[in-house]
Amino acid sequence: MFVLSHCPTDSLLIHRRIVWLFSPKCTSEEGIRDALLRCYPFNVIQSFTGAKIDVVPLPKDIFTRLAFQRRQRQIYDAAGHTAFFITAEDIVLAKLMAYRETNSDKHLNDARGVLTMQWGLLNLDAIRRGANGAGMLRELENLIESARRDLE
């Protein structure tokens, strides 16, 4: 996956470079241009190797940008392969924001699961600051209390 660190203001130049590098067959040139202008993810496939790249423009919102800056390289399998992951604290905050947008309890359950599984390892003060800034502090405190009860 390739993450563009911003939505390109010169999307035509980025579009031309992608087309030149990958000669995409799966995504039309018009589709690439449109995705770049709208800041939508897309993929391209190099025609002679079949290599696929997912291109994900980083959203402009401050939370996503900060979570991206705080990401950490972690080992994800027994062979020692690594990848970048956002922090558990940012996952909790992302789930709270998803709940705020969708009103789906699934996101609260996911956040509670992270709190429960990572209990004792989380920076709860940092999560509280983020939740307070997002107007979700009451929901977070309810989740923390619920996770605490789950662990008793």
pLDDT by residue (tens digit) across 13-40?
555 555 555 554 555 677 777 777 777 7
**Tell me: the pLDDT tens digits for 39-75?**
777 777 766 667 667 677 777 788 888 888 898 998 8
Q: Where are the domains of the chain?
A: 2-57, 61-152
DSSP strand pairing (2-4 vs 42-45): unpaired
DSSP secondary-structure letter at 60?
Answer: S
| H helices present in 7-136, as ranges | 11-22, 29-38, 62-70, 88-102, 105-117, 124-133
Query: How confident is the model over 117-133, as pLDDT tens digits?
Result: 999 999 999 999 999 99
